């Protein structure tokens, strides 16, 4: 089952905390995404019955494939959390060894656990023993120039039973910006017998092709490139680089937000939807006043009223989606040099 996650030409939706709920995944699946993850799940919160953590595990009836990613730094915690996942029938359970957020790394989880290869291997071994489905891991490169420590970590995870590996090509300190260490990712891909997916810096067809060529990985994982842009899956899977028309953008936003309200209720759904709506509108030529208004939404009625104005008004006539949107996305992601190939 895990091999399907790493099939050639795969484009996988990353586990994005605060984003990849059923509504987000539905938008991406509408553009061709098949393999997706829930948001990151804190194993400890799951054990203590956090409503938010249990809600993250929701799977829509029409989802063909879904993985879940667990965060913890204790083998026993992961074993107990895996038992709570059993009723949900996930296709893959993934161990997070790459989250760079301080509140995570301060307690030895995420990227901090990835820096402790022996403990990381013990945690993965515990998951393998407790899970009925394949277990994978998502790591970061340990050095931007020296492949040895990353390969060492990857080999230990492979020996512990990992069915596959995703490698984010940036070190912990880079967080999500700066060049991707493609040659380090390539070294991991060449050293392992299990399949490897490349992650980091994929936000259009050009960058996806570049990272595949430079790393040798047949599959890529898309993270921030999908926020506000589910059409990236159509682009990567079919080669269609045309930006979506205004009418389609509005329709996808409306469906996305209404699904968020359906799953979370109006108050929480609309509050969480603000950043989603802004991501859809940002860089597509919509007036600043409309974007600002969306950031203060509190009810579904307000959303409907603003969407009517947005539909009628459309993007600024000064905006050229063919030329302006790709340039905007490059600037947004802050790439001065995409790949580290020294």
CB 139, CB 157: distance < 8 Å = yes
CA dist., res. 32 & res. 186, Å (int): 27
Contacts of 48 (CB under 8 A, 6+ apart): none
297 C-beta neighbours (distance < 10 Å), count = 18
CB 110, CB 99: distance < 8 Å = yes
CB 261, CB 303: distance < 8 Å = no
What is the bridge-based pairing of β-strands 36-37 and 41-42? Answer: unpaired
Residue 150 sits at the vertex; the CA angle it makes with 146 and 151, to the nearest 5 degrees, is: 100
Query: Six-digit token pair at 337?
Result: 């040099």
Q: Per the residue annotation, which of 28, 33, 99, 123 is the catalytic one?
A: 99
333 C-beta neighbours (distance < 10 Å), count = 15
Element (H, E) at 300: helix 300-313
Query: Six-digit token pair at 181?
Result: 């260490």
**123 is annotated as an active-site residue:** no
CB 204, CB 338: distance < 8 Å = no
List residues with catalytic annotation.
99
């Amino acid at each position: 089952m895990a091999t399907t996650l790493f099939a050639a030409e795969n484009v996988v939706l990353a586990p994005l905390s605060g984003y990849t709920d059923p509504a987000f995944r539905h938008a991406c699946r509408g553009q061709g995404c098949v393999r997706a993850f829930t948001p990151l799940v804190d194993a400890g919160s799951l054990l203590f019955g956090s409503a938010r953590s249990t809600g993250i595990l929701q799977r829509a009836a029409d989802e063909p494939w879904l993985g879940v990613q667990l965060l913890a730094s204790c083998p026993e915690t992961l074993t107990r959390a895996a038992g709570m996942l059993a009723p949900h029938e996930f296709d893959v359970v993934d161990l997070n060894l790459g989250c760079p957020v301080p509140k995570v790394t301060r307690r030895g989880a995420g990227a901090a656990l990835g820096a402790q290869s022996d403990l990381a291997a013990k945690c993965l071994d515990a998951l393998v023993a407790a899970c009925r489905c394949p277990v994978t891991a998502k790591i970061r490169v340990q050095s931007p120039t020296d492949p040895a420590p990353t390969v060492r970590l990857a080999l230990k995870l492979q020996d512990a039973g990992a069915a596959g590996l995703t490698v984010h090509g940036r070190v912990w300190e880079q967080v999500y910006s700066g060049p991707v260490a493609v040659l380090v990712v390539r070294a991991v891909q060449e050293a392992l017998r299990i399949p490897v997916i490349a992650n980091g810096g994929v936000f259009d067809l050009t960058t996806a092709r570049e990272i595949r060529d430079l790393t040798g990985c047949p599959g890529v994982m898309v993270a921030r490139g999908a926020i506000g842009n589910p059409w990236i899956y159509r682009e990567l899977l079919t080669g269609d680089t045309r930006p979506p028309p205004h009418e389609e953008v509005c329709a996808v936003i409306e469906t996305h937000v209404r699904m968020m309200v359906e799953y979370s209720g109006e108050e929480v759904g609309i509050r969480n939807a603000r950043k989603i709506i802004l991501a859809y509108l940002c860089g597509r030529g919509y007036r600043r006043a409309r974007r600002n208004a969306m950031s203060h939404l509190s009810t579904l009625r307000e959303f409907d009223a603003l969407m009517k104005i947005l539909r009628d008004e459309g993007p600024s006539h000064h905006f050229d989606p063919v030329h302006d949107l790709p340039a905007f996305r490059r600037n947004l992601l802050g790439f001065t040099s995409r790949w580290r190939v020294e």
